[in-house]
Structure 1
Amino acid sequence: MTIPVVAEQLAVGTRTVDTGRGVRIHKTVIEQPVTIDERLVRDEVEIKHVAVDRIVALEEAPTTRHEGDTMIVPILEEVLVVERRVRIKEELHITRIQREETHREAVVLKAEQVSIERFDESGTPPTK
């Protein structure tokens, strides 16, 4: 005697169905004025001519140097005497001055807002 054995099998799949329903998406851009308030740092340079009028030997001629925030640049000149000497005519004293100020400016920021509207096959929104 034979006894039949039965087994069920399941096949799962997907398909696209047009239901006639859909959505509308509305996007709007809003502008919102905003004031920014930032601190800015700016360097300024102050140049002062300082008369020196000092004779120095050629090998002793000074070079650019710094004294604190001030850079001193010697201005040299050869002077004809019985012998040639280097005279420091003047120095440039360059001082860095750092100033801090507040900068205020109005700017416009934009943001997008989206609203979604669902509708049925007739194109009318469904009632709740």
Structure 2
Amino acid sequence: MTASTDREPAGYRPADRQDPEGVAGRLAGEDSSREDVLTIAQEQAHVSVERRETGGVRVRVVTDEGPVLYPVALEAETVEVTRHPVEREVEAVPGPREEGDVTIIPVVEERAVLVTRLFVVEEIHIRRTRVTETVEVPVTLRRQRAVVEQLEPGAAESGPGEG
């Protein structure tokens, strides 16, 4: 009788192998009259985890500042004031009016005739001109970036500013 070197557990018998000496039957207790001794080998594995420091990383956030020319649209408005004589009699004081981009403000005076009458003496015309200009204004912008440093074993315990 020979022992198997495959190290199979006791009672293991694959369907495709033959058991010429009836070892499987003796293990199951079918033939207990024979005093044959069968040596069974058993292997055991033990797995353990060992923590070892192999290094570390330090992450810093750095803020960079830099001037940037930022385009800005500036808008300016100028007015042109002109006087226009009218000399027209009116029944009531007229209000300001707009004609296109011109605002017209009537100037009225009372004149003594046998009766009092209103005359528009002049009109003041105000014309608005709008100018838009794009200029570049310097602006300081901030941007953050992360710096990752690889540390050697034992250096991970030091705090910021050390080492």
Q: TM-score range by the shorter chain?
A: 0.5 to 0.7
**1:23 Cα deviation (Å)?**
4.2
Give the Å deviation of 1:56: 2.3
Report the structure, 1 or 2, having the larger strand content: 1
| 1:19–1:121 Cα contact (<8 Å) kept | no
Given candidates 96, 111, 115, the residue that maps to 1:64 is: 96
TM-score norm. by structure 1 comes to 0.66
Distance 1:19 1:84, change over 3 A: farther
1:34 CA displacement: 1.4
**Matched-pair contact (CA < 8 Å) for 1:69–1:95:** yes
Partner of 2:77: 43
Larger RCO, structures 1/2 (Cα 8 Å, 6+ apart): 1
What residue is the counterpart of 2:141 in the other structure? 109
Q: Which residue is 1:90 aligned to?
A: 122
Shift of 1:75: 1.2
Q: Which residue of structure 2 lines up, in the alignment, with residue 12 of structure 1?
A: none
Distance 2:156 2:99 in 1: 82
**1:82 aligned counterpart, secondary structure:** coil
| Residue of 56, 59, 80 corresponding to 1:25 | 59
Unaligned runs of 5+ in 1: 1-17
| Structure 1 residue 74: Cα displacement | 0.6
Distance in 1, matches of 2:156 and 2:125, equals: 81
Change (3 A) 1:75 1:54: same
Distance 1:120 1:100 in 2: 60
Tell me the TM-score normalized by structure 2.
0.53
CA RMSD of aligned residues (A): 2.7
- Structure 1 segments, 4+ long, off by >4 Å, are 18-23, 118-121
Deviations 1:62-114 (A, max 9, x none): 32222111011111111122101001122121111111212122222111121
- The structure with the largest alpha-carbon Rg is 2
For structure 2, the 5+ residue unaligned runs are: 1-50, 158-163
Q: How many residues align?
A: 106
Partner residue in 1 for 2:155: 123
